[in-house]
Chain A
Amino acid sequence: MCHQSVGLVSRAIERKGVPTLSMTSAHSITTSANPPRAAFTDFPLGHTCGPPDRPEEQRSIMHDALALFETMEQPGIVELDYSWPAPWKEEARQPVDHRTPRHDTPQYQNQDDRSAAVAAHGVGVACRPAAPGDIPRC
């Protein structure tokens, strides 16, 4: 879904005359959304820009991706020459619903964040209830 949203945002910005480049690790979704420029990294979802704590590899990936602003001459998806340590695909191909419940109140990473947001914005905003009269419950 994220890849679809990004593809649609990308098309809208490019329509205003600003060139865009989308990273993608979901080739089929990006193909369908059809943004102007995409750089494909064949990585598990959640690691679009590379493996964690590997700044040199991340920098190299981003360097190759951004070069596409200067080298691509027509829309498309370019596959970057990086791979993720195998095997990961067989498990990722299982039709298992990994989604967590889609709560309609703000979802904080931790209690500290929640407290900081409440202090800055008030509980009514930071823990926006789902409907008027609901008790804030984030």
Chain B
Amino acid sequence: MAESDPRPIDYIALTRETYAGLGYPPYRWALNEDPPSWATLGKPLSEARLGLIASGGIYRHGQVAFTHRDDVTHREIPTDVDTAEIRVTHFAFDPAAARRDPNVVFPIDTLRSLVAEGTVGELAPMALTFMGGIYSQRRLASELIPVLVDRTLEMGADAVLLVPV
């Protein structure tokens, strides 16, 4: 059966409608009209060190889990981790698929296979994870983003893949 409306879902409009139905004021989404910075990969991807940052509330067995209320901490997961130790909790999406196969939001086996076949040079030693459901853009910018930027630079990543949910 085909979709009755094949266009991508407009989650900004949908959130506005959902919140209005609950009597909440509309959420003010980040609107960046200024163009982003643009950096280029100075070497082939097959020779590059790739960083992974995932925002799906992912942690490793033994780590402290994320809270669900504007948690601006992050976790570091070795990129040679046993995938069976990956956990996912989140308040805003159904984690059932991600718990069965973490690669849907934390593509660690996928990236390791791309390294093995030579498409990607290597992975940065640690993947960085956080709970992306942060409503306060101010706290995100002042507390979490500087840490993620610093760790990325410290690990010498030539490029970074980011995965939201």
Cross-chain contact B163 with A93 (CB below 8 angstroms):
no
Cross-chain contact A20 with B133 (CB below 8 angstroms):
no
Interface residue count on the A side (C-beta < 8 Å): 91
Contact of B33 among A14, A28, A34, A47 (CB under 8 A): A34
Closest 10 CB pairs of A and B: A2-B132, A52-B101, A46-B93, A2-B164, A106-B65, A34-B32, A6-B164, A27-B8, A104-B69, A5-B132
A55 to chain B, nearest CB (A): 7
Cross-chain contact A75 with B1 (CB below 8 angstroms):
no
Complex Cα–Cα for A24 and B99 (A): 19
Cross-chain contact B21 with A95 (CB below 8 angstroms):
yes
Knowing A52-B101, A109-B65 touch, does A45 contact B38 (C-beta < 8 A)? Answer: no
Cross-chain contact A116 with B162 (CB below 8 angstroms):
no
- How would residues 126 to 165 of chain B score, 1 for a CB under 8 Å from any chain A CB and 0 otherwise? 0000101111010011001100110011000111111111
Q: Chain B interface (Cβ within 8 Å of chain A)?
A: 1-6, 8-14, 17-18, 21-22, 29-41, 44-45, 48, 50-51, 53, 55-57, 59, 61-69, 87-101, 103-105, 107, 109-111, 113-114, 119-120, 130, 132-135, 137, 140-141, 144-145, 148-149, 152-153, 157-165
Complex Cα–Cα for A53 and B62 (A): 25
Closest chain A residue to B6 by CB distance?
A89
Cross-chain contact B164 with A3 (CB below 8 angstroms):
yes
Cross-chain contact A62 with B110 (CB below 8 angstroms):
yes
Known contacts A6-B164, A93-B9; 12 further A-B pairs (Cβ under 8 A): A2-B92, A9-B148, A20-B39, A28-B9, A32-B12, A45-B11, A46-B165, A49-B105, A49-B110, A100-B91, A107-B67, A108-B65
